[in-house]
Structure 1
Amino acid sequence: MKNSKRWGRRVLSALAAAAVLAAVPVGAAGNGKSKGKPPASSHRYIEVQLLGINDFHGQLNVTRKVGGREVGRADYLAAYLKQREAENKNTLLVHAGDAVGASPPVSALLQDEPTIEVLNKLGFDVGTLGNHEFDEGVAEMLRLIHGGYHPATGDFAGADFPYVSANVVDAQTGKPILPPYVIKRVNGMPIGLIGVTLTETPTIVTPSGVAGVKFIDEATAINKAVRELKKKGVQTIVVLAHNPGVSNPDGTNASGEIVDIAKNVDDEVDVIFAGHNHAYLNAVVDGKLLVQSYSYGTAFSDVDLKIDPRTKDVVAKKAEIVTTYHDGITPDPEIRALVEKYEAKVAPLVNQVVGTAAETITDEQNESGESALGNLIADAQRAAMKTDFAFMNPGGIRADIEQGEVTWGELYNVQPFNNQLVKMTLTGAQIRQLLNQQWQPTQTRMLQISGLRYTWSASRPVGEKVIDIQLPDGTPLKPDAEYTVTVNSFLADGGDGFTVLTHGTNREVGPVDLDALVTYIRQLSQPFSAQIEGRITKLQ
């Protein structure tokens, strides 16, 4: 797979800060304190703790900021998880997909094996598949899980913990490619854990990434697994779902696909871990506790269950979303040493200086849908293929370019998918259709552009929102004329719903998108910069 939806990376700071308001223990954890021992209960319930992450994306050595405080990194996440795990021996560690893919060089250049090794060291108990697990196809995904040989890295032992997937099935046999669920016994209590992945995955993944598999309805797959678990006497059931959801810090206004799934699955399901849209979620919907803890290891979900040993069912449940603030806690030395080992392996390439940015260049879009970084990348791709126009999908831009020296590794973080550039010919009418495909039923995806300008209006109907399209000299785009266009291979195959690109003619394959960006920046006058130029204009 090459590009996914990037559902709200920019809301990370605001939402994570809001998470501190959701529960006092979150703030306490941010200061390196544990959540404390729960009060004694008159009932002899078994207390089980589930510690979960989602959308880690191999961010082993990447620090981010929330409210001006540093968060993230595998060694800090490890310290928090080990601290919480030490408080309750009845603990399971789980992840809800996208543990790998769109990773920084420290993991990606080593086939994401470092991330799996870190999860192994932390003692994760079960995980499921996100769309990014399909980045390099089903065979490579299964190699990371089960182990095997890769020419770039040699033999790899694989994950020490099982992956579960109830709704990803073999296209020929219709059978799941992984176990639909696993049963973990915690202090004698059987806990069923079911995995599912969003059914939209084939629309946000290159065809080669999902070749040979199909994605069936999540709720249908979950309910089938629940029936089997109930026959085996399992009453405590947890779902790991790589599906989006979001809520207010107080649990109100929960929305997203995961809410619909919760309403349509068996009431025996107790907890659903969500993912994909990198957001805050801590809410109860239809009796199910739904959680999601942002992304990139900047937070984790701490779910506490009380299980009646007589019925083996959950009688109480609650959750915290805990932010992994660096201040007040010591990073885990074992994981830090592991990360440093991988950093040393990739350092010669990662640390090469490519240029110097005059100021920070971000992919934050203005009201019209244009960003400075999007312009820079689109310009680089058009220059590499020498075409009239270039179009870049925003989901493929994964980080900003910070002011100062810019290294190869930093640019890799911006474009980590290794998509090849594709040159094709489109008519003016097809280009108008392409731009109108930005407004889709569930999401708007504003392509970043080079070589043209256009205006659009929100008041016009879907399919007709684009008004005027002009060339740089101000002349209008001619519907019957032919123009050369550059896109990446993900878009060229109709990714993100831009199906008109599959009809492009005279295709030529060019360099990898990252190489094009590196080459382009190296030839710019230094220090280089990029701005929003009015290429896209929303009419009021």
Structure 2
Amino acid sequence: MKNYFMKSVMMVMTLAIVIPLGSLQAEEDLVDVQLQGLNDWHGQIDYEGYDEDFDGDGEEDPAGRADYLAAYLDEYKEDHGNTLRVHAGDMIGGSPLIAASFQDEPVVEIMEAMNMDVGTVGNHEFDEGVDELLRMVNGGEHPDGTEGYDGMDFPMVAANVIYKDTEELIFDPYTIEEVGGEKIGFIGVATTETPNMIIQDGNENLAFTDEAEAINEYVPELQEQGVKAIVVLAHNPARQDGDVITGDAADIANSVDDEVDVIFAGHNHVYNNGYVDDKLIVQAYDYGTAFSDVDLKIDPETGDIVEKTAEIVKVDQSQVEPDEEVAAILAKYEEKVDEIKNDVIGEAAFDLEGGYPTRGEIGDNALGNLIADGMVEAMDSDFALMNGGGIRADIQEGTITYGDAFTVQPFGNVLSKVEMTGAALEDVLNKQISAEYGPDYSVSGFAYTWQDETQEVVDIILPDGSEIDPNETYTVVVNNYMYGNAESGIAELSSNMEVGPVDLDATVEFIESFEEPIAYEAEGRISEVEPKEEYDLPVDGTPASDRAKERLQELAEKGVFDQKNKGKNSKPDHAQGK
């Protein structure tokens, strides 16, 4: 009996050893491939973010900048013989002075120095129209560019971007890269929301088809060429909460052929690293502060990806020495823009935060208020609206330079003054409120309350504390991007459009007009109020709707709408059009 037991144990132990050994043997036969991915760089080649304490000293440490990013990519490549570098769009557009001054060509020069292998388009690649994008990809000189610019030395792919008149694609839908003896297919797509986020001028003939349908159309073509490892470069957003990923990229993952293994997401500048329908989705923040490091194992007999894992790597400057080649490129362009970049135009009393309005009782932000007030002054208007996506950075406490202002407003949009009724203004404000994000525009010349339940405005209050007159005609300044965006309704609901100065010029002149350090704050120009079922409940006999009006009227009495005059000198209003 004892011998039988021992014999049985030995058989089990042998099996336990043999099975892993067989697996290890198969593991050794697999081909290791590394994919390093970027997204949403926006030409921020000189950007240093301070958003993480890497060394544990209680202070936020610098992350990013192109020369450190390049060094990090190489550092993580050292243990891999088979590496490809890819990007998921918005690598150019919305760029700081060092890149935008030369049509973003320095960004391409650095991507080539970093040995980029393949990329796709985001919405910002279309900032200056499709013809300029084609020049950026294929080469050709621009008056503001660099001498002898010859385009990108890596392919751009986009399977769902077509010309309306011919229905032909603007780029190849996919490319096949061979690494370690294995073929990998890369399909590119851009969000179908792109037309709502780009200027119409120069992009009128573009259409963006369904992303998943486009991907599924070309998977069989890749399979026919013996490609079983397929990666999607998708300028589509994703959101991760714990292990759960949602958003457009997740919807794509659920809808595309299971031959697709990995999706590089983008557009919303966040972290993603997880699985949807057994497809790996990754996204590495923005501005070159991080990259996606994806490890694949490919079965050489079938060509399939059989394992896929990823890490999102932050670019901690303290861990590497900057790449010399990229550092030299940076230095070359920094020298060219140094004088204008460092021109002092004002001073901030404290940090001036910008971006999109937020939910809550005080939803506006200091920099949005400052810019909108500058728009009013530049064009002598009643009101101004400034889109949150057009405010690309904050202004830090202390000296404000032209380069700082350019980084905030890099698009070169032109101000447009229009006439619209109070009712039309309310309609425009309603259109800019989304269920997911809330309000979009910063405002000047009025304050308003809105309700999340209905995503609609409740009250609009003027500087004298009165309500806006729906039948009165007012002048409103916006930028040409907002005016040309059909989704905004501005062009449709207004008349007598008048062109003004470049938005950055208006902001710079407004900043220069302050004698004292600028002390703008979030103050309640935009305010979220209670849900409808609570909104009309009286408190101490006063209905909530009246309480909201009283609060806005109190703001008016406190001079909130006159904040733009705080610390200013007494020089006359700026001439319209500068």
Q: AA paired with 1:188?
A: G
Greater displacement, 287-296 / 326-335: 326-335
Given that 1:236 and 1:313 are in contact with CA atoms closer than 8 Å, whether structure 2 keeps it comes out as yes
Greater displacement, 127-136 / 147-156: 147-156
- In the TM superposition, residue 149 of structure 1 has moved relative to its aligned partner by 1.4
Say whether residues 1:274 and 2:265 are aligned partners. yes
Q: AA paired with 2:139?
A: G
Q: Take 2:471 and 2:199, find their aligned partners in 1: how far apart are those partners?
A: 30
- In the TM superposition, residue 43 of structure 1 has moved relative to its aligned partner by 3.3
Q: Take 2:166 and 2:452, find their aligned partners in 1: how far apart are those partners?
A: 46
Say whether residues 1:46 and 2:37 are aligned partners. no
The corresponding residue for 2:50 is 65
Q: Deviations over 1:263-315 (max 9, x none)?
A: 11000001110000001111111111110011111110011111011001111
Q: AA paired with 2:379?
A: M
**What number of residue pairs does the alignment pair up?**
496
Query: Which SS does the other structure have where 2:317 is aligned?
Result: coil
Say whether residues 1:503 and 2:487 are aligned partners. no
- In the TM superposition, residue 503 of structure 1 has moved relative to its aligned partner by 2.6
Query: Which SS does the other structure have where 1:43 is aligned?
Result: helix
Match of 1:298 among 281, 289, 296: 289
Say whether residues 1:535 and 2:528 are aligned partners. no
Q: Take 1:405 and 1:442, find their aligned partners in 2: how far apart are those partners?
A: 36
Query: Which SS does the other structure have where 1:359 is aligned?
Result: coil
- In the TM superposition, residue 499 of structure 1 has moved relative to its aligned partner by 1.4
Greater displacement, 60-69 / 479-488: 60-69
The corresponding residue for 1:178 is 171
Q: Take 2:153 and 2:510, find their aligned partners in 1: how far apart are those partners?
A: 42
Query: Which SS does the other structure have where 2:240 is aligned?
Result: coil
Which is greater in Rg?
2
Q: Take 2:45 and 2:401, find their aligned partners in 1: how far apart are those partners?
A: 18
Given that 2:40 and 2:90 are in contact with CA atoms closer than 8 Å, whether structure 1 keeps it comes out as yes
Given that 2:363 and 2:522 are in contact with CA atoms closer than 8 Å, whether structure 1 keeps it comes out as no
The corresponding residue for 1:24 is none
**For 1:318-337, what aligned pairs fall within 5 Å after superposition?**
318-337=309-328
The corresponding residue for 1:221 is 214
Q: Take 1:42 and 1:521, find their aligned partners in 2: how far apart are those partners?
A: 62
Q: AA paired with 1:302?
A: D
Q: AA paired with 2:209?
A: I
Q: Take 2:213 and 2:452, find their aligned partners in 1: how far apart are those partners?
A: 37
Q: Take 2:72 and 2:405, find their aligned partners in 1: how far apart are those partners?
A: 30
TM-score in terms of structure 1 length: 0.89
Query: Which SS does the other structure have where 2:245 is aligned?
Result: coil
Say whether residues 1:99 and 2:91 are aligned partners. yes
Greater displacement, 268-277 / 363-372: 363-372
Q: AA paired with 1:190?
A: K
The corresponding residue for 1:29 is none
Given that 1:138 and 1:211 are in contact with CA atoms closer than 8 Å, whether structure 2 keeps it comes out as no
Query: Which SS does the other structure have where 2:395 is aligned?
Result: coil
Distance 1:468 1:442, change over 3 A: closer
Q: Deviations over 1:426-476 (max 9, x none)?
A: 0010011111122235543331111112222334x23xx322212101122
- In the TM superposition, residue 328 of structure 1 has moved relative to its aligned partner by 2.0
Given that 1:492 and 1:502 are in contact with CA atoms closer than 8 Å, whether structure 2 keeps it comes out as no
Unpaired runs of 5+ residues, structure 2, are: 1-23, 53-59, 531-578
- In the TM superposition, residue 145 of structure 1 has moved relative to its aligned partner by 0.8
Runs of 4+ in 1 over 6 A off after TM superposition: none
Given that 1:135 and 1:209 are in contact with CA atoms closer than 8 Å, whether structure 2 keeps it comes out as no
Q: Deviations over 1:163-182 (max 9, x none)?
A: 01100012111111101000
Match of 1:238 among 231, 248, 252: 231
Say whether residues 1:399 and 2:383 are aligned partners. no
The corresponding residue for 2:418 is 424
Match of 2:66 among 74, 90, 94: 74
The corresponding residue for 1:312 is 303
Query: Which SS does the other structure have where 1:485 is aligned?
Result: strand
The corresponding residue for 2:507 is 517
- In the TM superposition, residue 151 of structure 1 has moved relative to its aligned partner by 1.4
The corresponding residue for 2:408 is 414
- In the TM superposition, residue 393 of structure 1 has moved relative to its aligned partner by 0.9
Say whether residues 1:131 and 2:126 are aligned partners. no
Q: Deviations over 1:16-62 (max 9, x none)?
A: xxxxxxxxxxxxxxxxxxxxxxx997431110000000001111111
Query: Which SS does the other structure have where 1:174 is aligned?
Result: coil
Greater relative contact order, per chain length (Cα 8 Å cut-off, separation 6+): 1
Greater displacement, 113-122 / 525-534: 525-534
Say whether residues 1:287 and 2:278 are aligned partners. yes
Q: Take 1:161 and 1:227, find their aligned partners in 2: how far apart are those partners?
A: 24
- In the TM superposition, residue 203 of structure 1 has moved relative to its aligned partner by 0.4
Given that 2:416 and 2:480 are in contact with CA atoms closer than 8 Å, whether structure 1 keeps it comes out as yes
The corresponding residue for 1:491 is 482
Q: AA paired with 2:503?
A: D
- In the TM superposition, residue 374 of structure 1 has moved relative to its aligned partner by 0.7
Given that 2:435 and 2:452 are in contact with CA atoms closer than 8 Å, whether structure 1 keeps it comes out as no
Identical residues among aligned pairs (%): 48
Query: Which SS does the other structure have where 2:74 is aligned?
Result: helix
Query: Which SS does the other structure have where 1:416 is aligned?
Result: coil
Q: AA paired with 1:375?
A: N
Q: Take 2:27 and 2:290, find their aligned partners in 1: how far apart are those partners?
A: 33
Given that 2:125 and 2:133 are in contact with CA atoms closer than 8 Å, whether structure 1 keeps it comes out as yes
Q: Deviations over 1:382-412 (max 9, x none)?
A: 0000000001111111111111111101000
Query: Which SS does the other structure have where 2:219 is aligned?
Result: helix
- In the TM superposition, residue 539 of structure 1 has moved relative to its aligned partner by 2.5
